Amino acid sequence: MAEKTNGELGIMIDNMNNNIEKHIEKNTGTHEILFNHLEKTNVRVSGLEKWRYITGGGLAVLTTIFLPVVLMLIREWVFK
């Protein structure tokens, strides 16, 4: 195989650069689609997490404040 000249090597490098630029453009478009989908998913997950925290907090309040009161009332009613 004959050695490549500088001109041929330059052409090969230019072709490689063009291919890399095409891949970069393709990836940029794909990433934009993924980022849009990611934003939608994050909004849904954030809503679910907020609901979970509210529910957990409500259960904590119920068990620490209302449950002892209810148990005390039941004890008074049973052991009159």
How do the domains of the chain map onto residue ranges?
Answer: 1-80
Q: Model confidence over 51-61: pLDDT tens digits?
A: 999 999 999 98
The token pair at 56 is 């957990």
pLDDT (tens digit per residue) in 22-72: 988 888 888 888 888 888 888 888 888 999 999 999 999 888 988 889 889
Tokens of residue 51, six digits: 């609901």
pTM over 0.95: no
Helices and strands (H and E) in the chain: how many: 2, 0
Cα separation, 56 vs 62, in Å, equals 10
Residue type, 8: E
Structure tokens at 79: 């052991």
Contacts of 4 (CB under 8 A, 6+ apart): 12
